[in-house]
Structure 1
Amino acid sequence: MFAGPAGPSAVAFLGVFLLLRVLVSVRGSTDGPDVSALNVMYNSLNSPSSLTGWTSSGGDPCGQRWKGIKCSGPSVTEIKLSGLGLTGSIGYQLSSLTSVTHLDMSMNNLRGDIPYQLPPNALHINLARNSFTGGVPYSISQMTDLTYLNLANNQLSGQLTDMFGKLPSLTFLDLSYNQLTGDLPQSFGSLSSIKTLHLQNNQFTGKIDVLAALPLENLNVQNNHFTGWVPDELKGIDNLQTQGNSWSSGPAPPRSTPRGANHRGDSSGSEDNSSKEGNGTNSGVNGAIAGIVIFVFILGLVLLVLAKRRRSSSHYIDEENLGPARPFTYLDSNNFKDLTSVEPNSSAHVKMLSTPSSFGLKPPPSDRHRSFNDTEFASKFHAKRNANPIDAPVFSLMDLQTATASFSASRIVGEGSTGHVYKAKYADGKVLAVKRIDSSHLRSGNSEDFKNLVSGICRLHHPNITELLGYCCESGHHLLVYEFQKNGSLHEFLHLSDEYSKPLTWDTRVRIALGTARAVEFLHETCSPPVIHKNIKSANILLNAELNPHLTDCGLGVLYSDTKRNLGPGYSAPECTSPSAYTLKSDVYSFGVVMLELLTGRMPFDSSKSRSEQSLACWATPQLHDIDALAKMVDPALRGLYPPKSLSRFADVIALCVQSEPEFRPPMSEVVQALLRCEQRTSLNRRGGGDLGASRRSDDSDYHY
């Protein structure tokens, strides 16, 4: 009976209600950043079917009850995915999960580095029993509320940095069964709440005195390389395990007790005993320490004077004290000269630092001021130069770890046979590329081999070669720091983009080939001795903002032990059956394959094609002189916009480079000249408008990258 007047309003109310329900269901009840972070995690975990409810994009984790997810209101607060057989990695957007307090991904098959950015407000993190590599992420140092951290049973390596100074709430830390090295960081001493610390089965070294003042109840340092003595303060721990180290025998020497060492409430000594023993014993110890300090100070002063005397006598000449000038040769940039021929007022006239005679030091050996013949001096000069031949800045490991998010998998921009390349971002906006060399590629695996490698790379300066900006050789890490090229590699442009999203014009392709050829020409014909690259491929040709090429990995050929494995399918010349067979002409062949990629847009080896077309060089070479076949081979992304005469010249150069007999391949200087003519032909066509496509689409600015 109320249907008449009330009907329209009721219908309107019902419509609004349904509309709101639809809007809520579309929007979801979970915060957007949380949804995005879990989408990324799901994709990084290879989209496992065991994660019911999860999706690769969108969804509503809180409203739809995704497996392992707990929420408080619209915010995700817990992620518990332990023991589900998950593979892949965790993802790179965990820092967006600002409300997550509990993250448990333990007992899976996760690989790669632990992400640099973990949920920033987490209280409990368990990533144990996976296959994580890399180091312990430094961002943990900012997680001030963290109480539980378990990274045991992974493959973590490297030294622990001082990242524990701001973790006053941490009560449980387990780093056992990894490959961590070096001394324990001093910031361990700031873990004022720690109860359980497991460090067993690593490769830690040094003493454990930094742990003496901690309120530990469970401590396991078994099977490391610790030395010294177990502090008395730790011996009262009920659950203490120290076997498998190189502890010193005999009584420990006296040492001053750190402040606050009595965290465990040891009351065995009365106040009286403390004062008496402290006043007697400590005064004696302090007196002994003071005597040692004074002795060390005097000894250091004497050694300093000796060192200064030695340096001054090696590098300065005191004509007044030596009497008549004695012939002494020095090496300038080109040849040897005799100081006796230098004018008295010239800049080469130098004085020797004087040393006070009151110290009673013996005079330096007489041969320090004798003259050397050219052979003797050259020998000494080169010996000294080889002791420190590197002319490149040294970067600190901590700075590089911070800039690369502890070498996070999310920062990897390249991957080669010798190691990964990471993007390093600094607070001032500077971006660099850091290549981490796998130590297994160094002949003896030591730092000296790496420094010799850096020394060789330092001399490779060319506009089309990626510049080495510095290096780091610290704590078992071997890192090369390069300039960063914002447009990535030629491989990405040609093979990893949509067909028309990043087209390279014909002019740009010729310019890339010419610039790369000039870089290889420099290595082969300017450097002395010549440098064989051994890894020329499109992935090692980086493009700057103007799409000019920069050849990278120059000077790393000495690291390659297996040429076929290093180059990848399709690039190796027929003669490259072993590293010793690789020559300059093998580089020419690989460069020819890169030119084929520029011409055709095809991969050097594509298993998805028929057997006769899988190898680009084998398929394309017989057709390079066939005009009709050549036109069909051209990259479709060019859309026919290329000068035919320039294309024909380009194909002629390729045919010369990829000949099966090494002796018939041209030197790179001839390749450069041929490509210059090809570029000139392109320019003439562009000005005259005589060739197809040149007048309609010739400028790179017509394309949008």
Structure 2
Amino acid sequence: MGKENSKLCALFVMCLMVIFVVPFSHGLTNGQDVYAINSLYIALGSPPLPGWVSTGGDPCAQGWQGVQCVGSNISTIVINGANLGGQLGDQLMNFSSIETIDLSNNQIGGSIPNNLPTTIKTFFLSANQFTGSIPDSLSTLTLLSAIDLSSNNLSGQLPHSLQSLSALTTLNIENNLFLGPVPEKMLSIPNFKRDGNPLNTTAASSPSPLTSPPSSSEGPTAPATPGKSANGPSSQDGSQSKRSRKSRKTILIVAFVAIGVIVCIVGVLLVAMLLIRCCEKQSKLESTTMRPETGGYKGTKEKPKGNNSLIEHTAEANKVPVSQEVVQKPMKESQIDTVRTENVSQKPSEQLEMDMARVGVIAPTPPAEKVTVNAIVPAELPRDLSLPTSFTVGSLQQYTNSFASENLIGVGMLGSVYRAELPDGQLLAVKKLDSSVPRDDESFLNLVSSISKLQHANVVKLVGYCVEHKQQLLVYEYCGGGTLNDILHSGDELNQKLTWNARIRLALGAARALEYLHEVCQPPVVHRNFKSANLLLDNELLAVRASDCGLAPLISSGSVRQLSGNILSSLGYGAPEFIQSGAYTLKSDVYSYGVVMLELLTGRKSHDSSRPRGEQHLARWATNHLHDIASLSRMVDPSLNGRYPEKSLSQFADIISTCIQSEPEFRPPMSDIVQNLLRMMPREPISGRSNRNSSSN
């Protein structure tokens, strides 16, 4: 009885410690970074980003969409093409260690903040709606190496202060409204892009400190005294004093929180010590009161009180080890979820007689007593699931170097993908699903089982999975040739390898992937995220495989569904019925496939905000040009240099036209598209103009 009370007391103490200590210790992310990202989220207008909240939260532990951390500090925020609005706000400087901010291809407006984190290295805000001028305060960001402010509405003159950034190697200000001359030293930046601005062609020499104009963002200034400009030490001292006040406030808040945590822990420990002492005293008192009963039992050998009582004691004494033996006996796998019955009389009779002899009597064997044991086991996997290889989190951390940034392949709406190298040199791709997507382990395992059944030459194969420590990861085969999006739009020599016949072959491989999902799989599988960035190539650029197949149940859930709708519509892949009503069918996949074919035909992006307004949305722009041979020839990717048969080009355009019909019922099934492309595949070198150039395929 005393031991049971001690256990209850210990359990009570542990509960108290959990109640008081856990609320103060669960947060992983630096509190200053949490405040900064909450402020950014509010300034952006609280968009539907998975995981993001306006107050509190734990971005590093909860895996907020587009957020990467190093330890407990936020190091990277990358959210492209998510249709974000609002402004950046004035709290970015509160990020303690952030190095990369990339919010390109959104609808963010306002001006660029004056106060940015001094740790920033990469700052990308291209294709947004920013106005005003570039703030002079950027000159204080000594670690800044890359800035992309292209395709905005920025104006004014280029600040001379940017010349002082020695680490700056990339500066892109294309397609803005900048005026005036280009500072002389700015021309020496290795990757400086300035087209699309009404700038003077002559370089401007750096002005002297006495005549430097005041920054437009600083408002009215007092008359400058000799030897001091309006942007001189006085304004810098003011900003430094403000920063020092904020840092003092932050230090005070952290100190108060730390003191509060220490006081709570000390209080809990004191209460625990008092409770343990009380429990010990109570157990001693109970053991003292029970001594006469135990002594009487030990003395039964000399003064037995009767056979019946002795038999009862013996039976009770023998029951305990038998029942323990039954409970602790290892169970076979086939017995885990069954109820077993053991018999006390299974104990050898010799051992039973020895136990009776210890109490000084020889008694008959007590009647058999059945002991029912309910096996308590952890939740097991459904028996009918066929699952691929199971990995541990530890092994995947080892293969990806703890999910290091250099192994990051890409970031999507469902999470991040990392390159993993096994000890034998085999490469794999690990998709770390965003923890903010709500799903339990059972539904995740059902999803893994479904994906593992997708076996096709043009579908990326799932080789394993991991579900451990509240993390869910998918392990795929690795495709080393990059994505079709990278090859088409990178602007390097890789694009030159995509001859006309190679493009037909890649279109055929992508069509076969959708044909398999739509018409072979039962029930049919909707892709829901079909785009050139999800088409992976081999090293020779000969074969294409569709990725993210079977993940539609994750995309169609909650906030991810809304985000996917925003991304698909902003990137130009969303079918009209999906954008208007949110309805997504197999025919919506066909529309997205038609947009990918347009990318292969034109070499253009599905949505390009740097182009004139009428040409930004590829499918809408191309619809009126696909049936006119003269317009069609002007649409073809310039990198082909006219090396294609006109008949084949016309057939390719006809397929695209049927795929991007506004009414879904007029779009063909994928099997028809596959047959049409097969007829276009050359069986012998093409004669005429294309013979000399397509023979390399």
- What TM-score does the superposition give when structure 2 sets the normalisation length? 0.50
Bigger relative contact order, structure 1 or 2 (CA pairs below 8 A, ≥6 apart): 2
More helix as a share of residues: 2
